[in-house]
Structure 1
C-alpha cells in the first residue's frame, strides 16, 4: 500500500490538473499494483509549487540558487531504506516538490501531464534510493522509471 499526502502550494497547477490530489492518488493507486510495491507499506508527500518556492528549497537544502523542475528529499539513507523495504511495516519515504513553471506546456495540456508523470516517477525513484551521478546507478534508475511509468499509464 502506498499512502500519499498532496499539498497544492500554487493555484497554477489547476491549469494541468483540475483536481491535483485526485489525479495523483489515482496514479499512485495504479503504481501500488506494481510488483515492486507488493507487500510494502510506504508513505510520501508531494508539494506542488512554483518557481519561487522551489528555488528557495533548492537554495536551502542543495545550496543551489536556481529554480528546478523536481526536488526529492529522501527520509532514509540507502542502507536503512533497503531494510525497511524488506519489512511490512509502514514507513515514510520522504518528500517531493514539483515546479509547475517547468512542467506547464501552454499549448498542449497532454504534454504537461506526461512531463508531470515522468517527474513524479523520477522524484519517487530518488526517494527509493535512485541516483544518477554514477553511470550504473543512472541506468538502474532509468529502468525503474520506465517500469513505473508503464504501471501508471
Structure 2
C-alpha cells in the first residue's frame, strides 16, 4: 500500500486540484502490481510547489540554477521495520503544469504523468542513457495507461 502525504506551498494548486491528497493516492491504487508494494506500507511526501521554490531546491541539491518541472529525492536509508518503507520526496512546480495545461488542455493528466515520472525516480529509474530512457518511458506509459480511466 502506498500513502502519499501531500503538502502545498503554492495556493494556485488548490484551484486546479480540489482534493489533492485523494487525487495522488487514487493514482497509486491503479498502479500495476509491480509498483504497489502489496505487503508493505510505503510512504512518499509530495510537495506541490512553484518555479521560485523549486529553483532554490534545484540549485541547492543539483547545482542547477534554474527551475524545473519536477524533483525527486529518494530516501537512501532503510527503515528498521521492513514492512514500512519511506521512498522519498517529490516536488512539482505549478507553473510547469499550468504551462502544459495551456498547450494540451488537461491539467490532471499532465500532473499525473509528471507524478508517475517522479515516483519512478524514487524507485531508481533514470533517463541519463538512451537505454535507461526507453525503460523508464515504457514504465511511465504502462502506469499512465492503467490510471488514465480515473482522470476527469
The residue that corresponds to 1:83 in the other structure is none
The residue that corresponds to 2:53 in the other structure is 53
Q: CA offsets, 1:59-103, max 9 Å, x none?
A: 1100111011000001128xx7xxxxxx96211111000000000
Deviates more, 1:15-24 or 1:66-75: 15-24
5+ long unaligned stretches in structure 2 = none
The residue that corresponds to 1:35 in the other structure is 33
Q: How does 1:48-87 map to 2 (within 5 A)?
A: 48-76=48-76
The residue that corresponds to 1:103 in the other structure is 97
Q: How large is the Cα RMSD of the aligned pairs?
A: 2.1
Separation in 1, partners of 2:102, 2:54: 24
Given that 1:8 and 1:20 are in contact with CA atoms closer than 8 Å, whether structure 2 keeps it comes out as: no
The residue that corresponds to 2:125 in the other structure is 130
Offset of residue 110 of structure 1: 4.9
Secondary structure of the structure 2 residue equivalent to 1:7: strand
Offset of residue 35 of structure 1: 1.3
Given that 2:39 and 2:83 are in contact with CA atoms closer than 8 Å, whether structure 1 keeps it comes out as: no
5+ long unaligned stretches in structure 1 = 81-86
Offset of residue 13 of structure 1: 0.3
Separation in 2, partners of 1:60, 1:139: 29
Deviates more, 1:91-100 or 1:11-20: 11-20
Separation in 1, partners of 2:107, 2:126: 24
TM-score (norm 1): 0.84
Given that 1:4 and 1:46 are in contact with CA atoms closer than 8 Å, whether structure 2 keeps it comes out as: yes
Q: CA offsets, 1:122-153, max 9 Å, x none?
A: 00000000110112111111111112112222
Given that 1:39 and 1:88 are in contact with CA atoms closer than 8 Å, whether structure 2 keeps it comes out as: no
Given that 1:69 and 1:99 are in contact with CA atoms closer than 8 Å, whether structure 2 keeps it comes out as: yes
